[in-house]
Amino acid sequence: MELRTVLYGYNKYQFQFLINEEEAIIVRRIYDEYISGKTLLQIANALTAESVVYYRDRTTWSKQAVRRVIENSHYAGDKEYPAIVEKGVYKKANKLRLEKGGDREKDTPEIRYLKYHTKCAQCGGRITRKAHYSGKREAWHCVNGCKTSRYLDDKAFLSDILSIINCVLDNPNILLQPHSEEEQYRPSIRVQRDERTLNDLMQRDNMTFVSAKKMYFDVLADQFDLCKIDRSYAVTDALVEYVAECEPIDDVSTDLFRVIVDEILVDDAGRVSIKFANDAVIKTDERGVDDERTC
């Protein structure tokens, strides 16, 4: 089954998240119905019965999917996502959720950051945290059920992350990347055709700005989408310079991570790696591995 890569309720255009108005109606409905007294399962069953699309041809909703909508603070708006519901509505729904669930442990900002920036290297799904797994200790696991041969609790997971980060802070040059030799822009046949059409239009004596404006910007947008960003060249120098000024850390720093980290990955062995802002991937050290950058 193909998975969503963009949060329900939003579209992504280039580097910006925009509200998907049709899905936003469903998001607001979920909050309103939950606050009015309906259960997660009742809301999920109603959406499924009405064949409300979750993604492409998928119209089956679970109570877990509904819970994820209610729990996700992005819907109340932040630096990346425009608000779909008011902050008061978000807080009211989650206060009700916690009251229904009893005295649950509340995620710290650091844990919340890691939950939404860590992916499974096997399927690309999100890695999340289950507190007090089996009544004993917490567990970090793939939401799609991918298994790892190593048990990841908070101690192991956070230790690996801090180990990589401090290794990079101690030796910023490990982030250096060779400049890509790949062609950064390769126009498609359609774009080449549109470029020729635009050039012909610009040569006409009766050409006006109004007549050419839409096509001009459409061609620019298509050209931009076909450009491959060489972050090894554009970002590495600035990233290395920034990291060189940072001190080692003892705890997860969301402020630092938002600047230097792109995403955190967990493979089938439970091995942690971090993809940095310039696409450099640094992994935890492991005996017998000498062909990858490790800390």
pLDDT band at 203 (very low <50, low <70, confident <90, very high): confident
Amino acid in position 107: D
- What sign has the CA pseudo-torsion 14, 264, 122, 70? negative
pTM for the whole thing? Answer: 0.51
Contacts of 263 (CB under 8 A, 6+ apart): 117, 118, 119, 274, 275
Instruction: Looking at mean pLDDT, say which of 36-50, 88-102, 104-118 comes out highest.
Output: 36-50
| pLDDT higher than 50, residue 15 | yes
pLDDT tens-digit series, residues 144-170: 889 999 999 999 999 999 999 999 999
Amino acid in position 30: I
